[in-house]
């Protein structure tokens, strides 16, 4: 790799991290989308931090990006959030929904979604059922 390419690789993630600090939700959503395309371990860590954004669309985009990355680390983040009994129901439902888009279906996602189908929260139950159906249909 040439020195200029190496420098560019280091600058892009820093600029995306800066964009995540924008007060504008659209800027943060764009940064999340670009990080999702990057798909490496540092991107997963940054996307995981976006799951606590105050704007639900940023959370949703970050969860989808993590599911599309599909690495054990990114799926682990979503499973942990979906199964966090003390967490926000909205964030848990978003994580459960995103798990339904992971391909190929990760075993950890399937197991977590199966457990969530018997959760006491009916919204979370239903989203887990829908996501499980998307993961297991073929």
The full set of domain ranges for the chain reads: 3-136
Q: What are the distances in angstroms from CA 8 to CA 13, 54, 90, 98?
A: 9, 30, 37, 31
Query: Band of the pLDDT at 38, cuts 50, 70, 90?
Result: confident
Contact 50, 62 (CB under 8 A): yes
How does pLDDT run across 58-93, given as a tens digit for each residue? 999 999 999 999 999 999 999 999 999 999 999 999
Q: What are the distances in angstroms from CA 110 to CA 13, 46, 62, 79, 133?
A: 31, 24, 20, 10, 10
Residue 1, helix vs strand vs coil: coil
Query: Model-level pTM greater than 0.75?
Result: yes
Q: What is the mean pLDDT of the chain?
A: 90
Q: For 121, which DSSP code?
A: -
pLDDT at 42: 86
Please check whether the domain covering 3-136 is classified as CATH 1.10.10.10.
no
């Amino acid at each position: 790799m040439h020195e200029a390419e190496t420098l560019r690789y280091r600058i892009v993630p820093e600029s995306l991290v800066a964009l995540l600090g924008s007060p504008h939700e659209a800027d943060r959503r764009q940064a999340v989308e670009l990080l999702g395309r990057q798909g490496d371990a540092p991107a997963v860590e940054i996307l995981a931090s976006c799951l606590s954004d105050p704007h639900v669309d940023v959370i949703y985009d970050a969860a989808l990006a993590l599911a599309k990355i599909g690495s054990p680390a990114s799926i682990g983040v979503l499973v942990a959030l979906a199964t966090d009994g003390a967490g926000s129901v909205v964030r848990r439902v978003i994580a459960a929904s995103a798990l339904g888009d992971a391909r190929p279906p990760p075993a950890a996602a399937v197991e977590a979604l199966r457990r969530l189908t018997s959760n006491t929260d009916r919204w979370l139950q239903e989203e887990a059922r829908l996501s499980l159906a998307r993961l297991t249909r073929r």
